[in-house]
Structure 1
Amino acid sequence: MGESLFQVFFLIFSGAAVFATFALYTRQPLLVAYIALGILIGPHGTKLITEVHLISEIAHIGIIFLLFLLGLDMQPKALFAVLKQATNVGIISSIVFAIGGYGIGWVFGFSHVENIIIGIAMMFSSTIIGIKLLPTTVLHHKHAGELMVGLLLFQDFIAILCLMFLLSGDLGQVDVQKLGQTLVALPLLGVSSWAFVKYILLYLIARFDRIHEFIFLLAIGWCLGVAEAAAFVGLSAEIGAFIAGVCLATSPISQYIAISLKPLRDFFLILFFFSLGAQLNITLLSDVIIASIVLAIAMLVIKPVTFGLLLKSHSEKASLSWDIGLRLGQISEFSLLIAFVATQGEMIGEKASTLIQAAAIITFIVSSYLVIFNLPNPVAVKDHLRRD
């Protein structure tokens, strides 16, 4: 790396602070600001940072913490309650979005495997945009909030399964031995992690719960320990982190751990989204810009309509159905992660990865504006729509 690590961190975080300020004033999601910064100062932009491999490696920790925190929020009883209501809508909508993504990829000449990945990436909506632009009173106290959380949790669960599949072998030529090893290792890791939490970790937490520094350290050690164990037995660090979170979710102190680790997670996620932008080859953008726009517009139309019709068919009020549909009418940050994993595994080429990233960014921006100017939200420009 031509730059020192200090210089790289200075450019990333000082630049991110400036871009984030601009994003907040223009009502944009912060992750778009981080991606834009990566595009601007990365190796395909002004080349202030020319080597992003190390940053990508460091940023990988952010994804591990993200999945760990996702697992911490998945209380089994609450999870089953909301998923029961959202399952049918989630399954049908995911199939529709995947078919739409595959079809558009096929029209623009991508390979069969690349079209599968494009279709998978289209299945999910953004948790960040969906939750952040939902008024707090709706999120915690109304049926709309419960329904949105249920749908997003169901999509997160599908995303985890998709990541497991992508990390288990090549699409189109699955390594049967490796996939079999995964299917055996997964329940073994889950059971052993649950037993360790029940008989050792919970005892340590109860014994030293007043020493916050120890709890913080224990949580990080547990997350990274199970992640490393998962990688050792042929799974992935991300899957291990998710298992670590789920096993710890029943602990009374799980929410304290989640709150404590969020700043650490955000630190690494800034690096992750920056590295995504820095690796976005804008020289290839001209080759996929039309496809990206078509894919983005298709999702911005298909998702609200599909959610609206499905929810209405499940006896939801028309106004509520279209409200939720519009709020979930974008591609997900999970789509960026899937593109990243598929590219690292050489399942898709740079053009397909650029297509997914560009389409996701377009939908982030357009969807945010649609919600901000038309639905109640905490950052609305119009006074009558502003709801905290």
Structure 2
Amino acid sequence: MDSGSIVFSFFLIFAGAAVLASVALYTRQPLLIAYIVLGALIGPSGLAMINDTQLLSDIAHVGIIFLLFLLGLDMQPAHLAHMLRKTSWIGVASSVAFALIGYATGLLFGFSTQEAIIMGAAMMFSSTIIGIKLLPTTVLHHKHTGELVVSILLLQDLIAIMVLLFLYSNEGDSPTLAMFTALLALPLLLLFAFGFVKYLLLPLMGKFDRFHEYLFLVAIGWCLGLAELAHAIGLSAEIGAFIAGVSVATSPISQYIAVSLKPLRDFFLILFFFSVGASFNLALLDDVFIPALVLTILTLGAKPLVFKYCLSKSGEDASTSWEVGFRLGQTSEFSILIAYIAASAALIGTEASHVIQATAIMSFLISSYIVVFNFKSPIAVSDRLRRD
């Protein structure tokens, strides 16, 4: 793709997103819907105005990295450790329940045992992007509901990394070796991050804090640098970005960095949701619609119930338990990644891959509606619920 086509692609995406976002706001719909619909409309399976979606998807992945970095900036390490200890059993138990639902549904529709297992694995996770994007940053990130959502999502991300390592291992090392390497690398990365921030990064920022451009550049460099380091040692870039944020969270400069990077995060997230819609092959819709619809209904129905039950058992009140359940009541961007990797490794067929993708897209759409119309969020259509 040459530079001219990149500019033209960006023009189509952001001009189209502005038009559909205007329609969405006038019709009181969540903005995420507009970006996904735009991808399906002008992507390869639609009008084919943009065909090279892989490059855009790679660029959009940066949005997820920035999202996790900003999330880390809002989390105090000691409090995060406390919340993870409290919700660890909830994350594990709920993931097992969702995996069984996906596995049984796959077998019901005639997929092979291996395909059903991978479909079950893809159903275990909730969307980090939607879960956090729809959290009011000034209301819930520092309150109990937001802390529960974030801690469960983080534990799911760790489980997702293990699943991805297993899938990647089919192209190289054994899964046991890959997981062992990751478990060894995580504490080493934490030690490096906190040491680097304490003895080098914060002194530099403190010395030149009058130069806002410098702080902006250092923050981006630290986020992307630790993301790349994490990826190089067998972890995910997202985990590296989150650790980069947490390591700076105790500094007074963290809130300035968070405010400065929010527009950059939103730019890349628009590209991410566009790429989700553009990556789906509409020609296979007739073959995958019914199993995907059944799996979506089961996901949207089971996740709030399971989370409500588990959270109630841990002492949470009913209102908080239901809200957390509905906020986590979809599948994940990791589900799409699992489908892509498994299909590339010939572990599942094209139809099974598209069932997972279609389920993710439909659950994204419907879950966003449920949250935006019923709970506080930055893009709520009601003034009573809109919080940022």
Deviation at 1:365, TM superposition (A): 3.1
Deviations 1:264-319 (A, max 9, x none): 12212221221222111111222111111000100111112222333333444445
Report the Cα distance in structure 1 between the residues aligned to 2:231 and 2:380, rounded to whole angstroms: 44
Q: In the alignment, is residue 193 of structure 1 matched against residue 201 of structure 2?
A: no
The answer on whether the counterparts of 2:64 and 2:129 sit within 8 Å (CA) in structure 1 is: no
* Partner SS state of residue 170, structure 1: helix
In structure 2, what is the Cα distance between the partners aligned to 1:134 and 1:221?
A: 26
* CA-CA distance at 1:154 after TM superposition: 1.9
Q: Report the residue type matching 2:190 in the other structure.
A: G
Deviations 1:361-380, CA, capped at 9 Å, x for gaps: 32233334445556677777
TM-aligned CA deviation for residue 201 of structure 1:
0.5
> Does the aligned pair in 2 maintain the 1:37–1:277 contact within 8 Å?
yes
Distance 1:346 1:167, change over 3 A: farther
* SS across alignment from 1:139: coil
Structure 2: runs of 5 or more not aligned = none
1:274 aligns with 274
Counterpart of 2:290, as a letter, is I
Native 8 Å contact 1:97 1:122 kept in 2: yes
2:164 to 163, 166, 172: 166
Q: Which residue of 2 aligns with 1:260?
A: 260
1:77 paired with 2:82, answer: no
Change (3 A) 1:272 1:379: closer
Which residue does the alignment assign to 1:241? 241
Amino acid paired to 1:139: L
Residue type at the aligned position of 2:164: L
Match for 2:306: what amino acid?
T
CA distance in 1, matches of 2:345, 2:215: 35
Partner Cα separation in structure 1 for residue 252 and residue 138 of structure 2: 24
Tell me if structure 1 keeps the 8 A contact 2:88–2:155.
no
Letter matched to residue 230 of structure 1 = A
CA 1:183–1:287: 2 relative to 1, 3 Å: same
- Partner of 2:168: helix, strand, or coil? coil
The 3 A distance-change label for structure 1 pair 103 and 18 is same
Q: RMSD value over aligned CA atoms?
A: 3.3
Paired AA for residue 151 in structure 1? V
Q: 1:22 to 1:123 in 2, by over 3 A?
A: farther
Equivalences for residues 315-330 of structure 1 within 5 A: 315-330=315-330
Q: Percent identity?
A: 57
Q: Distance in 2 between matches of 1:234 and 1:319?
A: 39
In structure 1, list runs of 5 or more residues that go unmatched: none
Between 232-241 and 340-349, the greater mean CA deviation after superposition: 340-349
Once the two structures are superposed, the pairs formed by residues 273-352 of structure 1 within 5 Å of their partners are 273-339=273-339, 348-352=348-352
3-state SS of 1:59 partner: helix
Deviates more, 1:45-54 or 1:348-357: 348-357
Q: CA deviation at 1:42?
A: 0.9
Matched letter for residue 248 of structure 2 = L
Deviates more, 1:366-375 or 1:154-163: 366-375
Once the two structures are TM-superposed, the CA of residue 324 in structure 1 deviates from its matched residue by 4.1
- Are residues 191 and 310 of structure 1, via their aligned partners in 2, closer, same or farther at CA, if it must alter by over 3 Å? closer
Alpha-carbon offset, residue 196 of structure 1: 1.4
Checking the alignment, whether the CA contact within 8 Å between 2:165 and 2:179 is kept in structure 1 is no
1:94 equivalent in alignment to 2:61:
no
**Residue 153 of structure 2 corresponds to residue 155 of structure 1:** yes
Residue 58 of structure 2 aligns with which residue? 57
SS of 2:140's equivalent in the other structure is helix
Specify the alignment match of 2:9 in structure 1.
8
Equivalenced residue count is: 384
Change (3 A) 1:226 1:89: closer
Do 1:336 and 1:360's aligned partners in 2 also have CA atoms closer than 8 Å?
A: yes
Counterpart AA for 1:157? L
Whether contact under 8 Å (1:133, 1:378) holds in the other structure is: yes
> Which string of whole-angstrom CA distances, capped at 9 and with x for unpartnered residues, describes residues 220-266 of structure 1?
11122223333444544344333322322332222221221121122
Q: Which amino acid aligns with 1:125?
A: S
Contact 1:182 1:235 in 2 (8 A): yes
TM-score with structure 1 length normalisation? 0.84
Matched position secondary structure for 1:110: coil
Task: Describe how 1:82-231 pairs up with structure 2 within 5 A.
Answer: 82-126=83-127, 129=130, 139=140, 146-167=144-165, 170=168, 174-231=174-231
Assess if the C-alpha contact under 8 Å between 2:63 and 2:266 holds in 1: yes
Which deviates further from its counterpart, 160-169 or 49-58?
Answer: 160-169
CA distance in 1, matches of 2:156, 2:346: 22
The answer to whether the Cα contact below 8 Å between 1:70 and 1:242 also exists between their aligned partners in 2 is yes
Is the alpha carbon distance of 1:99 and 1:8 closer, same or farther for their aligned partners in structure 2, counting shifts above 3 Å? same
Code of the aligned partner of 2:210 = R
Partner of 1:37: 38
Aligned mates of 1:305, 1:271 — CA distance in 2: 32
1:61, distance to aligned residue in structure 2 (A): 2.2
Deviation at 1:20, TM superposition (A): 2.0
Q: Which amino acid is 1:40 matched to?
A: L
Deviation sequence 1:302-340 (CA, Å, 0-9, x none)? 112222333333444445544443443333445445545
Letter in 1 for 2:21: A
Deviations 1:116-155 (A, max 9, x none): 44323323334555566677897378xxx51353133222
Quote the Cα distance in structure 2 between the aligned partners of 1:307 and 1:232: 34
